[in-house]
Amino acid sequence: MTFPSGLRALNHTAFRRFFLAQWVALVCGWMHTVSQSWLVLTLTDSPLRLGLLGTLQFAPILLFSIFTGAVADRVPKRRLLMATQVTLAALALVLAALVLSKSVRYWHVAVVAVLAGLAQTFDGPARQSFMAEMVGKADLVNAVALNSAAFNSARIVGPALAGMLIGRFGVVPSFVINAAGLLGVVLALATLPERARAAPRGTTMLQEIGEGVRYAARTPVIRLVLGLLFVVSITVFNFTVYVPLLARHVLGLGPEGFGFLMAALGMGAVAGALTVGFLRAPEPPLAVMLTAATIALGGLLSLSAARHVAVAVLLLFVTGFFGLILVASCNTRLQLTAPDELRGRVMSLYTLVWGGVFPIGAFSVGAISEVWGVSTAFFVQGTAGFTGLALLVLWWRRRSA
């Protein structure tokens, strides 16, 4: 069977197996994320503590991802991914056991979140660079787009399922199902061929990290792409904090309503990712990336005035659509620009910016929401994002003049 142009990366057998198993695991992972957020609000009813949990989970990415990118360039990526999936599955089962025993406390959830963050720090660069190994550069744009579509279609299905399960059975089923989905990825990875490792280069890990950072620093387009990603990551993509607070404190919704809002966001993101996948340009144009960033920030700013469910759903869809166009374009542009031997290290910078700045943004959103409300947090973050975007555009135009 030959897949059409918009799905051409699926013609690669290894990618197809990994993609299908990963999609199932991502659905289960979003169920876990939604249930974990609801568990924290049930235990504490504190926006600040919910934001702090995001900070704790993503802090390891901020601290260590630049090192784990060098690890991804040194060890077989398939085995590294198998180890991270097993670790995350075990942590999900620990959380389920704590809730079942009725002994769960906020600090338990926080410790599990930190350990999961450590595993994800190794997972990110390995997963991103592993795609290029499976499909090659010719189909990489499509593979990245499909991967983003999988992530965000899971954002539709996972929260909706979690909302129904939480309302009827509590949060435990989501944690158990997540563990099963992660183990399914391990089984899929076990069927894939191992790519031969490059010969050792006789350099230390610190030297290799320095090489990757210097390459990014002297390549202007990489600096611009990472700058765009930074602005949108730190302001827009704090939805695991934004949306439960919007649902509970502004719109007065329960678990099902929360899941519905997350599904609207996910639908927009899927549409955005598929739009990138169907683009025929060899690499995403910078004009498209700048436009997408502008509209995503506009959607975020507009959410500060949302008081009705229908308006919030529309704005979340728009923000998800254009936010994902930008993120998928940044991912692809970096992978196509980086040479093969540096891809893991360059993608560790992507992981650092994409997930590593989340602790700062999550804590900021939680702190502002605690004192002034989530609507004010939307306004402050949106305004800050537009300021950062304007500075980036000004720098790029002066450099190009």
What tokens were used for 343? 């891809």
Task: Measure the CA–CA gap between 184 and 202, rounded to whole angstroms.
Answer: 37
Domain count within the chain = 1
Q: Which residues contact 126 (CB under 8 A, 6 or more apart)?
A: 68, 71, 72, 77, 80, 81, 84, 344
pLDDT at 18 over 90: no
> CA geometry: angle at 266 spanning 263 and 268, to 5°?
115
Could you identify the residue written with the tokens 């730190």? 234
Q: What is the pLDDT of residue 211?
A: 79
pLDDT by residue (tens digit) across 257-281?
Answer: 877 787 788 788 878 877 876 666 6
For the segment 143-151, the average pLDDT, to the nearest whole number, is 77
Segment 146-162 shows an average pLDDT of: 76
Task: Encode pLDDT of 22-36 as tens digits.
Answer: 889 989 998 998 899
Largest CA-CA distance found in the chain, in angstroms, rounded: 64
Residue 197 forms part of a structural domain: no
- Please report the pLDDT score of residue 391 as a whole number: 94
Token couple for 32: 């876990």
Q: Kindly report the backbone phi and psi dihedral angles of residue 301, in degrees, each rounded to the nearest multiple of 5, phi listed first.
A: -60, -40
**Cβ–Cβ < 8 Å for 236, 300:** yes
Torsion, CA 204, CA 207, CA 212, CA 218, rounded to 10: -160
Residue-wise pLDDT for 196-245, tens only, equals 555 455 567 677 778 778 888 888 888 899 999 999 988 888 777 788 88
Residues 351-374, mean pLDDT to the nearest whole number: 80
- Is residue 167 one of the residues assigned to a domain? yes
Name the residue among 125, 198, 141, 70 with its Cα closest to residue 336: 141
Is the model more confident about 195 or about 35?
35
Place 130 in a pLDDT band, splitting at 50, 70 and 90.
Answer: confident
Predicted pLDDT at 195: 65
Share of the chain above pLDDT 70, in %: 92
DSSP 401: -
At residue 97, the pLDDT reads 94
Is 70 exceeded by the pLDDT of residue 381?
A: yes
Give the separation between CA 136 and CA 130, rounded to whole angstroms: 10
Return all residues near 276 (Cβ < 8 A) that are at least 6 apart: 141, 144, 145, 148, 284, 324, 325, 328, 329, 332
Nearest to 93 by CA among 179, 29, 174: 179
For the segment 172-197, the average pLDDT, to the nearest whole number, is 86
Task: Place 319 in a pLDDT band, splitting at 50, 70 and 90.
Answer: very high
Q: What whole-number percentage of the chain has pLDDT above 90? A: 24
User: What local confidence, expressed as pLDDT, does residue 180 receive?
Assistant: 94
Residue 297 pLDDT exceeds 90:
yes
DSSP one-letter string for 57-86: HHHHHHHHHHHHHHHHHHS-HHHHHHHHHH
28 to each of 24, 36, 154, 177, 272, how far by Cα in Å? 6, 12, 8, 6, 22
> Which residues form the domain of 95?
5-192+203-400
pLDDT at residue 301 greater than cutoff 80: yes
d(CA 103, CA 131): 41
Q: What is the pLDDT of residues 47-58, one digit of tens each?
A: 778 878 877 887
User: b vs e for 146-159, b when ≥16 Cβ sit within 10 Å of the residue's Cβ?
Assistant: bbbbbbbbbbbbbb
Question: pTM for the full model?
Answer: 0.70
Q: Is residue 351 part of a domain?
A: yes
- Specify whether the CB–CB gap between 226 and 350 falls below 8 A: yes
Average pLDDT, the chain: 83
**Which residue did the predictor score with more confidence, 136 or 164?**
164
Examine the pLDDT at 104 and tell me if it is beyond 70: yes
Cβ neighbours, 10 Å, residue 303: 25
Residue-wise pLDDT tens digits, 75-96 = 778 888 999 999 999 999 999 9
In a domain, residue 198? The reply is no
SS3 state of residue 46: coil
Question: Is 61 within a domain?
Answer: yes
CATH of the domain at 361: 1.20.1250.20
What is the DSSP-derived secondary structure letter of residue 236? T
Tell me the CA distances in angstroms from 260 to 175, 213, 216, 247, 395, one per residue in order. 20, 41, 40, 10, 40
Residue 270: the pLDDT is: 79
Q: Report pLDDT digits (tens) over 320-362.
A: 899 888 988 888 888 777 776 777 777 778 877 877 677 778 7
Average pLDDT over residues 383-400: 89
Note the pLDDT of residue 392. Answer: 92
Instruction: Quickly state the pLDDT bin for 178 (edges 50, 70, 90).
Output: very high
